[in-house]
Structure 1
Amino acid sequence: MKITQISIFIENQSGRLWEVCNILGENGINIRALSLADTSDFGILRLIVNDPEKAYNILKENEFTVGKTDVIAVEVPDKPGGLAQILKILRDNNINVEYMYAFVERSGEEAIMIFRFDETEKAIEALNNNGIKTLKGEEIYKL
């Protein structure tokens, strides 16, 4: 149930974000979800893409500092309290969320949250045991 996230370290300067997105687009890589965190000097762009292995290799070839990380995609009820329900399960099982970001596939149904946990396998087990659906990479990559 793990999916591959690509993390790119980019200088915090005009045009660098465009350069990453342009390279991916020119090579047929579609971004499904993203998160960008920055400091005054650099940013970390986290991406879920339709072909993570190809994206990783292309970015490496273009001299970007890039890494791969296992994350979990979780269906969250797209309603008030939906995320709190998920976080309660994690809290009750003493699982720490390192970071997360989201996207909504279709309004009114489920949102999809991307989570990075300190104990990934424990998180998958706790969520699945409580009826929460975790998505396979193939499901996310082809959205």
Structure 2
Amino acid sequence: MTIKQLTVLTGNSVSHLSNVISFLSRGGLNIRAHCLVDNGDGFCKLRMVVSEPDKAIEILQQEKLTAVVNDVVLIETDDKPGGLSRMLKLLEKDDIQIEYSYTAASESPGIAMMVFRFSDNLKAVKILDKNGLKLIKSKA
């Protein structure tokens, strides 16, 4: 169970980020999770989980921006010490690597939401699902 994540290359200034976010906001899209990573060359990768990925791609294309789409896994776990550790232990024995992760907005108190891109998303999903972790199909 994976969801779509968009990655946009943008300038690393507040105004560049503000423009991208404004385009999506004006289109009525909700950004449920994001991660901004500096490339070190004046640009940033903006990774986002949005309410309507296909609509977001259209909006960004109209603004001459390219979005790369990747599958990621959105996981819900208890927001308490050991929640992340438990999940990682399940994956550790199967040698699944984490390419990156970041947190997402949660509407429920005591619940942590995390976005992951694994070396093998499908294998990770099977392991996590089998062990009772809640995987979100679409929370955007």
So what's the TM-score if we normalise by structure 2?
0.93
Q: Return the alpha-carbon distance in structure 1 between the equivalents of residues 105 and 80 of structure 2.
A: 11
Equivalent position of 1:22 in the other structure: 22
The answer to whether structure 1 residue 107 and structure 2 residue 127 are counterparts is: no
Equivalent position of 2:97 in the other structure: 96
Equivalent position of 2:136 in the other structure: 135
Q: Go from structure 1 to structure 2 and tell me whether the alpha carbon gap of 1:53 and 1:130 turns closer, same or farther (over 3 Å shift).
A: same
Corresponding residue SS for 1:15: helix
Deviation at 1:29, TM superposition (A): 0.9
Identify unmatched segments of 5+ residues in structure 2: none
What is the aligned-residue RMSD (CA, Å)? 1.2
Identify unmatched segments of 5+ residues in structure 1: none
The answer to whether structure 1 residue 80 and structure 2 residue 59 are counterparts is: no
- Counterpart mapping for 1:56-67 below 5 A: 56-67=57-68
Q: Return the alpha-carbon distance in structure 1 between the equivalents of residues 95 and 85 of structure 2.
A: 15
Structure 1 stretches of 4+ with a deviation exceeding 4 A read none
Q: Return the alpha-carbon distance in structure 1 between the equivalents of residues 123 and 90 of structure 2.
A: 11
The alignment covers a number of residue pairs equal to 138
Q: Letter of the aligned partner of 1:22 in structure 2?
A: S
Q: Return the alpha-carbon distance in structure 2 between the equivalents of residues 2 and 127 of structure 1.
A: 12
Identity of aligned residues (%): 38
Q: Return the alpha-carbon distance in structure 1 between the equivalents of residues 14 and 134 of structure 2.
A: 39
So what's the TM-score if we normalise by structure 1?
0.91
